[in-house]
Amino acid sequence: MQLLRNRSSVPYVKSFPDNPSAGDRLVILPAEDTASTSRGRPIGPEYYDVNEKLAFMRKHHIDISVISLANPWLDWLLPDEAAETARQVNDDVERMCAAHEGKLYAFGTLPLSAPAEQVVEEIERLASLPHHRGIIMGTSGLGSGLDDPALDPIYAALEEHEQLVFLHPHYGLPTSVYGPRASDYGHVLPLALGYPLETTIAVTRMLLSGVWDRFPNLNVLIAHSGGTLPFLAGRIESCIAHDAHLKNLGRLEVRRDVWDVLKKNIYLDAVIYSEVGLKAAIDASGVDRLMFGTDHPFFPPLNEGETEWLSVKLNSQAVQSALADERKAEDVMGGNAARILRLPG
């Protein structure tokens, strides 16, 4: 928060000393960087106070949370300060988890704007921290997407140290695709559509570039039940199989298909808010690869006096509706995460 408060360009936290009722606003996208007090999104202590996290967990009967920085992580840092800042942040989160032993674990943050060797060094260090269970990163990678060959040494280090990658979107799609009236619809179009499609495109680029052919043991947890990947996987596979350009390059004979990667390398969270989407995620990757999530601290209640978060309610209801088998539902709500992320059972 101090880093963000000291900045004046995206991303930053904007305060309004002359109008305290406006509160703090988090500006993480260029389109949010306007000249009014409505710029960005309102944030409160639930974004940075560990006591707020623990209170949220108690309210919703959550025993263990795996926490992380939210987008845009540390990708915006200058190369010469990225590695040290990442170490400080990851150590701070590690101390936070240790102070609440058995309640909190974490995904670490990488200094992706630093030289690759410094990124690899932090991956190796994170593997030794007792409360860290992988890393979180966005779809831009080092700035050129997740199919960038420059990421190969980083993927190699993640694979070698068995670090799960939690992949989360940030930028969505170009604002122009939403039409001239997009501002009338709040954040609905970019959050409901832009983020899932950003994720699907990023993962498909990984597939097309052969990331999982080169790193067959690289494991990725994809946010929001895989974006639209479970629904579109068959169409992606068909288009690959019928592409003359890929055939001429010899790629059709030497690749793993989408379904194989979904079943062996990809995990999905259960943040999809409906039984229909959840069933698609289960069919695509398997019920044993699905883990419950909350999206906290995003999507807080809007009504005064309301304390139950709709995101938790809708996602837990979807799990119960999609899975008649009580044991499988319990696995999605916690058992799978305990096994995959080595958490207390």
Q: Sheet harboring 24-27: ordered strands across?
A: 12-14, 24-27, 41-43
At a CB cut-off of 8 Å and minimum separation 6, what does 225 contact?
Answer: 268, 269, 270, 271, 272, 277, 278, 280, 281, 290
Which pTM value belongs to this model?
A: 0.95
Q: In this structure, are residues 291 and 336 in contact, taking their beta carbons and an 8 Å threshold?
A: yes
Name the CATH code of domain 62-340 (choices 3.30.930.10, 2.60.320.10, 3.20.20.140, 1.10.10.60): 3.20.20.140
pLDDT by residue for the chain (345 residues), tens digit each?
A: 999 999 999 999 988 888 888 789 999 988 788 655 567 888 999 999 999 999 999 999 999 999 999 999 999 999 999 999 999 999 999 999 999 999 999 999 999 999 999 999 999 999 999 999 999 999 999 999 999 999 999 999 999 999 999 999 999 999 899 999 988 998 899 999 999 999 999 999 999 999 999 999 999 999 999 999 999 999 999 999 999 999 999 988 889 999 999 999 999 999 999 999 999 999 999 999 999 999 999 999 999 889 999 999 999 999 999 999 999 999 999 999 999 999 997
Distance between CA atoms of residues 46 and 36, nearest Å: 24
Burial 82-107 (b: 16+ CB within 10 A, else e): bbebbbebbeebbeebeebeebbbbb
Distance between CA atoms of residues 240 and 232, nearest Å: 12
Beta-ladder partners of 113 = none
User: Tokens at residue 249, please?
Assistant: 């390059």
Q: Length of the chain in residues, anyone?
A: 345
Helix ranges (DSSP H) in 7-78: 50-59
- CATH 3.20.20.140 boundaries in the chain: 62-340
- What's the count of helices (H) and strands (E) in the chain, helices before strands? 15, 10
